[in-house]
Amino acid sequence: LAEKEGFVAQPLWLDELPSRISLTDLDQRYGKLNTDIIRARLGFVDDPAHQSQFPLDLDLQHNRNLLIVGETGSGKTTLLQTLLFGLSKDYSSDRVNFYILDFSSRLLKQFEKLPHCGGVITDDSEDAILQLLSLIKEIISERRKLFTEADVSNYDAYLEIAPLPLSLLISDDASQFEEMKKRNENKPMLMLVNGIKMLNKYVSSINDIEKKLIDELWPGALTIIFNKKNVSDLLTGGLGTVGIRY
C-alpha cells in the first residue's frame, strides 16, 4: 500500500562504493572537472556520517606540497598514476608540466613521452638528481624574475597577466632519494620551456631547421637540441648543448 501511494522509506545508508571506479565513471556521474585552476581528480569519497558521496578533487595550484603515506601495496603508486593521468587528460602541457622521480615500481615511466613530462628518473637512471635540482632552481629563478618584472607576488596574480604552466615534482618512494644523489652527473637532462620567450633566454641561436620544427611540432613531445646559453653545466652534463621541449 505504501509503495502504491508513493511512500518509500529513505535508506539509512548510501550504496557501497564500487570495488573499482574509473575517472570516466566519475566524470559521467558528477560532470567533468572544473579546470579554471589546476586540480586533480583522485578518487571517490564516502562520508557515512553526513550521508554523502563525492569525487576527491585536489587543488594543486594552492596546496603546494603533498605527502602520501602508506604501507607497501596500499596503492601509493596507483594514486600517483591516477594523478598524472588525470592531469594529462584534463590539461594541456602549456598549463601543467611535471618531472618524475620513480624509485619504486617504475610504472610511472609510462608518462615519459607525454608533452607534459620533462623526464623520469629511476633508480638506475643515468640522469643525475643534481641535474634535476639544478633545473628546479633555474625554474624558480626564472619565475621570480618574471614576477618581479610583472610587479606581482604570486602565481595566481601572474596568470592574470600571462599564461605560465604549473610545474610539479612527483616522487615515488622518497626513501631512495639520498641514494639517487650519488649517481652519475655527467649525462644531460631535458628542459621544459613555456614558450619562445623563455626558449630565447637559454639558447644562443635558432637555425632555419629548428625554426621549422618549432613552428610545425611545438607544443608537443619533440625534444630539440640547441646550443645553450645561461644554462648550468649540471643540467647539460658539461655539454655546450641543451635538449629542450615545449
Confidence of residue 235 (pLDDT cuts 50, 70, 90): confident
First and final C-alpha spacing in the chain: 67
d(CA 141, CA 154): 13
- CA torsion sign for 144, 147, 149, 152 is negative
Share of the chain above pLDDT 90, in %: 43
Q: What is the DSSP letter of 219?
A: S
- The single residue listed with the C-alpha cell 618549432 is 214
Residue with the bigger pLDDT between 147 and 119: it is 147
d(CA 119, CA 133): 13
d(CA 47, CA 40): 20
Q: What is the pLDDT of residues 174-190, one digit of tens each?
A: 666 555 555 456 677 77
Alpha helices in the chain (DSSP H): 23-30, 76-90, 129-150, 155-159, 177-180, 196-200, 208-217, 233-236
Confidence of residue 131 (pLDDT cuts 50, 70, 90): confident
Confidence of residue 16 (pLDDT cuts 50, 70, 90): confident
Span 141-150, average pLDDT: 92
Span 126-136, average pLDDT: 69
Q: What is the DSSP letter of 176?
A: G
**Could you tell me which residues are beta bridge partners of residue 99?**
119, 169
Whether 166 has a pLDDT exceeding 80, the answer reads: yes
Span 115-128, average pLDDT: 75
Q: Using an 8 Å Cβ cutoff, are 47 and 53 in contact?
A: yes
Confidence of residue 130 (pLDDT cuts 50, 70, 90): low
**Could you tell me which residues are beta bridge partners of residue 191?**
244
d(CA 219, CA 216): 9
Whether 128 has a pLDDT exceeding 80, the answer reads: no
Q: What is the DSSP letter of 106?
A: S
